[in-house]
Chains A and B, each alone.
Chain A
């Protein structure tokens, strides 16, 4: 039974709950990373149509410069900002900045590295992503 519980595979990886905001940030970091990689490949394909001339480029713009296209781009902006801000937090953490001093593990065994500073950074990253999305929507729809 215990062995089965530990073998959740992708389903377990996809579940962002149970372990607090840090687990949610871990999940969001990977999800935004995959999303951005998919967008990056699509963007390279999209821009390659310029080699086929003006008509092909405008046909591609007709496909992407729509309300749905703008909403997808706004989501990409949000993913990009969260991935960047949370990535900087992780880089600093891996360098030992903001993770606190090591100490004896006493009950209730709260990890020192998972502190309020880190939590605040995660919430700030989500907030920044939301603001950037709103700004992006303003630029794309405000014309």
Chain B
């Protein structure tokens, strides 16, 4: 993929994540902060389907943005054909692993399997 397209994806995921993280934080502030973290409250959040979808979207957007950012930082530090390939594929693998692990939590918790 061309680097200019990758950067457009980087900026797009950033803007999307900012909007959705704002919703995520506002959800914590709908009640007292410590109460919002209680087990029953968090499970109720997961079982509310639109909010579970927001969490999934945040997970995907931040994973793409975060690991692409890490890739850019690592490529600024050192260059070379083998190194660049290793960094790119390593970041993609880490991104997929984080999305898979986070999705597992969201799916199981929203189905009441906790």
Contacts and interface: CB of A to CB of B under 8 A. Distances in A.
Interface residues of A, number: 31
Interface string A17-50: 0000000000000100110110011001101101
Nearest to B58: A40
B69 A37 contact: yes
Interface string A36-80: 110011001101101111100110010001000000000000001
A84 B29 contact: no
Contact of B105 (A47, A54, A61, A91): A47
A44 B43 CA distance: 15
A37 B70 contact: yes
B108 A51 contact: yes
Contacts of A58: 39
B62 interface: yes
Interface string A105-138: 0000000000000000000000000000000000
B42 interface: yes
**Is the interface on chain B under 10, 10 to 19, 20 to 34, or 35 or more residues?**
20 to 34
Interface string B26-57: 00010011100101001100100000000000
B77 A13 contact: yes
B109 A54 contact: no
Contacts of B14: 84, 87, 91
A143 interface: yes
Contacts of B11: 91, 94
Contacts of A45: 101
22 contacts: A10-B77, A13-B77, A33-B69, A34-B70, A34-B73, A41-B98, A44-B98, A47-B42, A47-B105, A50-B42, A50-B105, A51-B104, A51-B109, A52-B114, A57-B42, A58-B39, A65-B34, A65-B37, A87-B14, A139-B33, A140-B33, A143-B32
Interface of B: 7, 11, 14, 18, 21, 29, 32-34, 37, 39, 42-43, 46, 59, 62-63, 66-67, 69-70, 73, 76-77, 98, 101-102, 104-105, 108-109, 113-114
Closest 6 CB pairs of A and B: A37-B66, A48-B105, A54-B39, A44-B102, A33-B69, A51-B114
